[in-house]
C-alpha cells in the first residue's frame, strides 16, 4: 500500500518583497532587501535616520520605481501599479504628514477616503453624494472611538485625535494590508495608548496585516509581533521584539548612527 504524506500548504504571504534595491545618484538607499509578511502579522520596520525605511515603503507602494526586485501583494505583482491601483488590491497606507482635510468634518474625511479607495470618476459624478459609504464610515469612526467628534471639523481636533482619524482613513474599504508611516509621531502618551489599543483590536478582530515604520521604540516594541531592522539600506536583524531589543548589532547601528 502506498502511503501519501500530507504536507500543510504554505500560505501565500500578504506581502512579499524580493531583492529590492533603490539608489538615488550614488546613494544606495535600499540594498537587496527581501522579506515576507504573513496574514495577521504586525511587522515593525525600524532603523536609524537615513537607513532607507521611507524609500523601501515608497517602492512597495508604487510611489517610487525600484531599480531591481519584486513586490507581491497576496501573490500578485505590484510592478508598475499606482497608489490607487494598490488600494483596489487591498492595500491602505498612512503618511508621515497628516492627510486629513481640516475644513471637512471627521465623517466627511472618512467618506472621502472610502471614495478614493474604491470609487471611479463615473461613480463619483453620478453616484450618491456619499457613494453609499456613510454607514461603513460611521462604524469605522465608532471603532476608532471618534463617534462623539463625527460632525466636528477635522482641523478643530487635537493632533492626537487627527492622527487617529488619519489612521482610520487608511482602514476604509477593509484593506488586507495597511502600511503605517510613523503613526505615533508627535502623539501624546494617552492618545498613543488609544492608537495602539485600537490597532491591536483591529488586527485581532479583522485579521488585517500591518507594516509599521516607527521611531518610538516603546510603541513599536509593544505593538509589533515581529521587527525588521534596516541600517544602510540593508536588513541587519529580524525577529521578535525582545530579541531585537538586546541584539548587539542593532544597538551598535543606533549608537553608531
Ligand X SMILES: Nc1ncnc2c1ncn2[C@@H]1O[C@H](COP(=O)(O)OP(=O)(O)OP(=O)(O)O)[C@@H](O)[C@H]1O
Binding site for ligand X (CB under 6 A): 24, 27, 29, 47, 49-55
Question: What is the spatial distance between Cα 163 and Cα 168, in angstroms, rounded to a whole number?
Answer: 9
Closer to ligand X by CB, 150 or 215: give it: 215
Q: At 6, phi and psi to the nearest 5?
A: -85, 120
**Closest distance of CB 52 from ligand X, Å:** 5
**Closest distance of CB 96 from ligand X, Å:** 7
**Closest distance of CB 196 from ligand X, Å:** 20
**Closest distance of CB 228 from ligand X, Å:** 12
Q: Between the CA of residue 36 and those of 5, 10, 11, 57, what are the distances in Å?
A: 27, 12, 11, 14
Query: What are 79's three cell numbers?
Result: 510592478
Q: Which residues pair with 153 in a beta bridge?
A: 105
Q: At 174, phi and psi to the nearest 5?
A: 50, 60
The answer to whether residues 14 and 176 touch, using CB atoms and an 8 Å cutoff, is yes
Closer to ligand X by CB, 56 or 173: give it: 56
**Closest distance of CB 216 from ligand X, Å:** 12
Closer to ligand X by CB, 53 or 196: give it: 53
Question: What is the spatial distance between Cα 64 and Cα 82, in angstroms, rounded to a whole number?
Answer: 10
Closer to ligand X by CB, 54 or 115: give it: 54
Edge-to-edge strands, sheet with 68-73: 27-37, 15-24, 68-73, 76-77
**Closest distance of CB 184 from ligand X, Å:** 13
Closer to ligand X by CB, 143 or 254: give it: 254
Q: Which of 130, 161, 160 is nearest to 147 (CA)?
A: 161
Closer to ligand X by CB, 53 or 81: give it: 53
Q: Between the CA of residue 4 and those of 1, 7, 173, 197, what are the distances in Å?
A: 10, 9, 42, 45
Amino acid at each position: 500500500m502506498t502511503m501519501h504524506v500530507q504536507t500543510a500548504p504554505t500560505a501565500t504571504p500578504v506581502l512579499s518583497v524580493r531583492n529590492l534595491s533603490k539608489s538615488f545618484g550614488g546613494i544606495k538607499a535600499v540594498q537587496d532587501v527581501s522579506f515576507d509578511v504573513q496574514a495577521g502579522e504586525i511587522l515593525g520596520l525600524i532603523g536609524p535616520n537615513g537607513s532607507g525605511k521611507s524609500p523601501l515603503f515608497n517602492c512597495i507602494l508604487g510611489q517610487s520605481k525600484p531599480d531591481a526586485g519584486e513586490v507581491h501583494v497576496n501573490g500578485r505583482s505590484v510592478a508598475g501599479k499606482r497608489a490607487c491601483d494598490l488600494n483596489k488590491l487591498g492595500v491602505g497606507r498612512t503618511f508621515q504628514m497628516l492627510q486629513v482635510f481640516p475644513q471637512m468634518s471627521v465623517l466627511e474625511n472618512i467618506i472621502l477616503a472610502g471614495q478614493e479607495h474604491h470609487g471611479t470618476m463615473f461613480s463619483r459624478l453620478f453616484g450618491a453624494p456619499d457613494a453609499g459609504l456613510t454607514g461603513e464610515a460611521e462604524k469605522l469612526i465608532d471603532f476608532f472611538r471618534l463617534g462623539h467628534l463625527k460632525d466636528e471639523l477635522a482641523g478643530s481636533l487635537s493632533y492626537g485625535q487627527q492622527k487617529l482619524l488619519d489612521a482610520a482613513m487608511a482602514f476604509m474599504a477593509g484593506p488586507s494590508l495597511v502600511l503605517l508611516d510613523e503613526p505615533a509621531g508627535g502623539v501624546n502618551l494617552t492618545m498613543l495608548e488609544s492608537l495602539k489599543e485600537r490597532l491591536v483590536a483591529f488586527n485581532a478582530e479583522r485579521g488585517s496585516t500591518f507594516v509599521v515604520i516607527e521611531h518610538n521604540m516603546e510603541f513599536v516594541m509593544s505593538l509589533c509581533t515581529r521587527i525588521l531592522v534596516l541600517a544602510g539600506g540593508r536588513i541587519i536583524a529580524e525577529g521578535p521584539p525582545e530579541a531585537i531589543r538586546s541584539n548587539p548589532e542593532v544597538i551598535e547601528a543606533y549608537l553608531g548612527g
